Amino acid sequence: MGFTVHGSGSRGQVEPPAIALAWQWPSFAVGGSTPPPPPPLGAFYAIWNATTVCIFAGRSTTGYIAGTIAGGATLIFGSGNPAVDIVCTLPCTGATPNNVAVWSATSAVSSIESGNLTRLNVGTDYGGAQFSNIDVSACLSLIELRANGNTLQTTRPTLTGLTALANLYLNGTSITTAPNTSDCTSLQYYDLQSTLIVAPPDVSANTALIYLNLSNCVDLDTPPDCTGLAALQQLYITNSIITASPTLTGCTALLTLSLSNNGSLITEPTLTDCTALTTLTLTNCPITTAPVVTQSTALIKLLLNGTSITAPPSLTGLTALVTLSIRDTPLATEPALAGLSSITQVDLKNTAMASVDLIFIKLNATPAPANGNCNTGGGTSAAPTGASAAARASLIANGWSITTN
């Protein structure tokens, strides 16, 4: 590093657990020979080595570093004093740290000014940081921003010009409006779960998006338009008040779609382009029509529990399907299981099927893998009869667990 950092002032009351053993007090020196001028009394103190710089504010509101910091270093700064707000700038000569983490005992305001910064962690990873605002407008090289868990953060970050931003974690914050990500053309992972947003994020410009999580956004009443997101692989929208399913036109790479526990969702998703889908979860939604899934020939898990469907979806050609669950529904017609050579988990408990005979006959004729599980008990579903009873016995002999009325 080329110099030593000396500290003045008193230590804060709280230390990040990962750094607690690194103190050398009252003056500490790590790998250097020419120290910079000491900081103002009580302003901050620091630990500095080849990979990590830790700055802890004392009583003042600013911390300032000057000097050369190795590229690839991690900077951690924060406050042990609940009354301290932090404003830290990084006007370093030479390469600035690539990774910055901000830690604070309670609320703080952070302003980061570094064009070379690639990763900024102002989440709760370092002991419960709570920030009311995070300014990264000057961090044009930023690849990752973690602000998760900052319940005091009500102002959405400005992301103008952050074309390299790939990972954005705002989950658990109190923002009511999603940030504008139109410049974030490299964005791949976007987490807004457990926020207070009412409207969905506009992701039309985020064509590199792989992961989008809007779960537990309890005020969200409109689904996102994911048209053209050909790279999208995982989409989670649970525990919201949406009434319609997201638009998925062009989402050919989608693997996981979870729309569970949306108590106002009455429209099933259109999955025409979702040919790569492996997991579809639509539990506890009042949809009355099962989605069309026959185009999703890679489907492994289909969960429709707690819906209002009375007719099952067509399962033709779904040879990869392992799990089918339509329990706790008014399902009146048994699903056609012929040709489902991979299926081992069938849960149709608490339904209203007039007959279950073809379920066991088709499962036994496939032949199905050994050691599966099939439950048609409860509700008003019929009991197996005739050839179905014999097929049931054959499945049990092959290691299946069978429950019927």
Per-residue pLDDT at 137: 77
Side-chain half-sphere CA neighbours of 301 within 13 A: 11
Backbone angles phi, psi at 225, to 5 degrees: -95, 110
Per-residue pLDDT at 17: 30
Per-residue pLDDT at 174: 87
Per-residue pLDDT at 132: 63
Domain limits, the chain: 1-141, 312-405
Per-residue pLDDT at 166: 96
Per-residue pLDDT at 369: 79
Per-residue pLDDT at 53: 42
Per-residue pLDDT at 146: 81
Backbone angles phi, psi at 323, to 5 degrees: -125, 125
CA-based nearest residue to 247, from 269, 267, 264, 262? 269
Task: Tell me which DSSP letter residue 306 carries.
Answer: T
Per-residue pLDDT at 176: 92
Q: For the chain (length 405 residues), average pLDDT per consecutive 10?
A: 24 30 28 36 37 38 36 43 38 39 41 59 55 71 80 76 94 92 98 96 98 98 97 98 97 98 97 98 97 98 98 96 97 93 96 93 82 93 90 93 94
pTM of the model: 0.79
